[in-house]
Amino acid sequence: EVQLVESGGGLVQPGGSLRLSCAASGFTFSSYAMHWVRQAPGKGLEYVSAISSNGGSTYYANSVKGRFTISRDSSKNTLYLQMGSLRAEDMAVYYCARELAVGATKGHLDYWGQGTLVTVSS
Amino acid sequence: QSALTQPASVSGSPGQSITISCTGTSSDVGSYDLVSWYQQHPGKAPKLLIYDVSNRPSGVSNRFSGSKSGSTASLTISGLQAEDEADYYCSSYTSSSTSWVFGGGTKLTVL
């Protein structure tokens, strides 16, 4: 069974940093691109970032470019999102999600975690 | 990058069909067939319904179908059921940020 479990969310002050993790199981992690998507309370989905299956390509929404860094560790079957210079508008539930097809990076997300809440407030 | 444009809400009666539109630009929907549709029930993670404009993942009901014309993609739900009441989001690759973008979401009410 495919499982994605996010962790690392919490309360952080504006300007601060936080690292999110997503532990993957039930599939060959190194074969799939992975993504981060966020959702502010009561709002819609917003795309954040993606990383290809081999980690060689990364993608970022303009809103987080230069502040967030996506990475993966296939030895630990874990996806990361290093977030810096956090702003109030970054406050959201952050979901990690798996790409649908092996080897592809097309933005088709077939498995999602339960999400982790990031709160940015002083 | 700007979100794709979806109607805020649509409604229909059980058994009817509804269509949700998703309007983009030549930088996204108009130039790429990398359009997905997701269903999200309150408090739940999204579920993939359609990928590559019109393909359904295994296990998704054939009551859900997708299409595209120009810069507008559409999701049609036929034979509406009470459990279809949810929020629906479209997504597309966009060259404006070499990333992806979601629509603002559409709340479907089954009357």
Write the pLDDT tens digit of every residue in B3-56: 899 999 999 999 999 999 999 999 999 999 999 999 999 999 999 999 999 999
- Interface A–B counts its CB contacts (< 8 A) at 74
- Has residue B2 got a pLDDT over 90? no
- Has residue B82 got a pLDDT over 80? yes
Q: What whole-number distance in Å separates Cα of residue B36 and Cα of residue A6? A: 23
Write the pLDDT tens digit of every residue in A41-97: 999 999 999 999 999 999 999 999 999 999 999 999 999 999 999 999 999 999 999
Write the pLDDT tens digit of every residue in A41-56: 999 999 999 999 999 9
- What would you report as the CA-atom Rg of chain A, rounded to the nearest whole angstrom? 13
Q: Is A107 close to B100, i.e. CB distance below 8 A?
A: yes
User: Pairing relation of β-strands B72-77 and B18-23?
Assistant: antiparallel
Q: Is A50 close to B105, i.e. CB distance below 8 A?
A: no
Q: Give every CB contact of residue A100 below 8 A, 6+ residues apart in sequence.
A: A106, A108, A109, A110, B48, B51, B57
Give the pLDDT of residue B98.
87
CB A70, CB A80: distance < 8 Å: yes
Which residue numbers of A have CB closer than 8 Å to B's CBs?
35, 37, 44-47, 49-50, 59-62, 65, 95, 100, 106-110, 112-115
Give the pLDDT of residue B97.
85
**Between B34, B97, B105, which is nearest A107 by CB?**
B34
In percent, the amount of chain B with pLDDT more than 70 equals 98
- Has residue B1 got a pLDDT over 80? no
- Has residue A25 got a pLDDT over 70? yes
- Has residue A40 got a pLDDT over 70? yes
Give the pLDDT of residue B75.
98
- Has residue B101 got a pLDDT over 90? yes
